[in-house]
Amino acid sequence: MFKNDKIKGIIYIITSAFFFALMGVFVKLSGDLPIMQKSFFRNAVALIFASAIITKQHIWELPKGKNIGYLFIRAAAGTVGILCNFYAVSNMNVADASMLNKLSPFFAVIFSIFILKEKANFKQIFAVTLAFIGALFVMRPSFSFDALPAFLGFIGGLGAGLAYTYVRKLSQNNFKGPLIIFYFSLFSCIVTLPSIIFNFSPMTPLQWVYLILAGLSAGGGQFFITAAYSKAPAKEISVYDYSQIIFTTILSIIVFNELPDLLSFAGYFIIISAAIFNAYNSLKKV
């Protein structure tokens, strides 16, 4: 039964990676629209998804005590992560933006040391350092405006890592996953709503379709990644989440004729190697 659950977890997380890769493609296809507008549509669909699940499971609950603060930080960090990721996706190679966002697990390791009081061993610190070096290959930092999308993609990964850390904090306090998604999506929609009201950019029918598809893809990705981690521990299956880079690269070549350069591929190799190294050492402890 355990092996079957692990296989299901792997299938679910790879399916999730495919949906998130589709989301990035649809976000870029939606064109030169305000980032706030793109984010609103992505989170509005997720809000509907979460509301449906909560209603079906009858688990409506208001946050109490420390969970209010934890939920606020999770929502704020997640919103910053999405906005930065969408800016990066819209202004640079989609595969590069996706890889920078996949630094989130390594940032989660760093934040867990200070927030969750978890101890990191030398091998985990080495993996984080290796991932950061890989990110430099993808970012190729400079002090020009051209580096802004890559820098914001990096910040997006940092924001997502902080958000995931507080998801774990909330889970430790028995605050259910669908509720976390609901309040995060609600917060993001409220934050981006003023921009929609006062700075709405008219959209063509095709742009409406792309943004709705981006939201549906994000909802599918969220659903399958939640299902994956309910079937198997993150340390055993999280490395398969990097299949998103394969999907994104293939889709980028087909849809945008974007082929990452050699430095980017070197960065991908280093970051994925760091993820495999970290996952392997986590499993050795079991």
Of 194, 248, 208, 242, nearest to 45 (Cα)?
208
Q: Which residues of 54-80 are buried (b: 16+ CB within 10 A; e: fewer)?
A: beeeeeeeebeeebeebbebbbbbbbb
Q: Which residues contact 164 (CB under 8 A, 6 or more apart)?
A: 104, 105, 108
Distance CA 84, CA 160 (A): 10
CA 25 to chain centre: 14
Asked if 276 and 51 touch (Cβ cutoff 8 Å), the reply is no
Residue corresponding to tokens 């390594």 = 106
- C-alpha dihedral over 196, 200, 202, 203, to 10 degrees? -30
| pLDDT by residue, tens only, the chain of 286 residues | 456 777 887 888 889 889 989 999 999 999 889 999 999 988 998 899 889 989 999 899 999 999 999 999 999 999 999 999 999 988 988 888 888 888 887 888 788 888 888 777 788 788 888 888 888 888 776 555 568 898 999 999 999 889 888 888 888 888 888 898 899 999 999 999 999 999 999 999 999 999 999 988 988 887 787 777 667 666 667 778 788 888 888 898 899 898 888 888 888 888 888 888 877 776 665 5
Q: Which residues contact 79 (CB under 8 A, 6 or more apart)?
A: 39, 159, 184, 187, 188, 191, 192
pTM: 0.83
